[in-house]
């Protein structure tokens, strides 16, 4: 399996523990300069996230990729913000894990 971007990992079972890359919608607060200040929460249902945001003047939404087993969430990528650094995934190492049978598709 050739992996070129995080999007290629959506739905891939990364460990026998059941971790998968999934899409979610992050709801976050912004300041007067439209800079992200903090995350309010993550939604599986994009419509519910947008409904939440419509009730405020200071929240925004962004589609993100998360690594989750349904209980724990690790952010893989997210909305760009003034304070955020881009997270890079070592795709070569992931390919090695898949070839060793430690991660599966």
For 5-31, what is each residue's pLDDT tens digit? Answer: 666 667 777 766 577 888 999 999 999
Q: What is the pLDDT of residue 29?
A: 94
So what's the pLDDT on residue 10? 75
Asked whether the predicted pLDDT for residue 95 surpasses 80, the reply is no
Tell me how long the chain is: 105
pLDDT per residue over 42-79, tens digit each? 898 999 999 999 988 899 999 998 888 787 777 876 54
Q: 49 with 40: CB under 8 angstroms?
A: no
63 to each of 15, 30, 32, 98, how far by Cα in Å? 24, 16, 22, 26
Kindly indicate the confidence band of residue 85, based on its pLDDT and cuts at 50, 70 and 90: very low
- 68 forms beta bridges with 20, 73
Of 83, 31, 20, nearest to 57 by C-alpha is 31
Distance between CA atoms of 2 and 49, rounded to whole angstroms?
A: 33
**What sign does the CA torsion over 73, 21, 6, 37 have?**
negative
Cβ-Cβ contacts under 8 Å for 16 (sequence gap 6 or more): 104
């Amino acid at each position: 399996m050739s992996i070129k971007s995080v999007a290629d990992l959506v739905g891939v079972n990364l460990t026998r523990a059941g971790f998968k890359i999934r899409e979610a919608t992050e709801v976050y607060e912004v300041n007067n300069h439209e800079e992200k200040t903090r995350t309010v929460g993550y939604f599986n249902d994009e419509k519910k996230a947008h409904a939440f945001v419509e009730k405020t003047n200071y929240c925004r939404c962004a589609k993100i990729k998360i690594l989750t087993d349904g209980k724990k969430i690790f952010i893989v990528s997210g909305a760009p913000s003034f304070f955020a650094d881009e997270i890079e995934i070592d795709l070569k190492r992931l390919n090695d894990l898949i070839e060793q049978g430690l991660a599966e598709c």
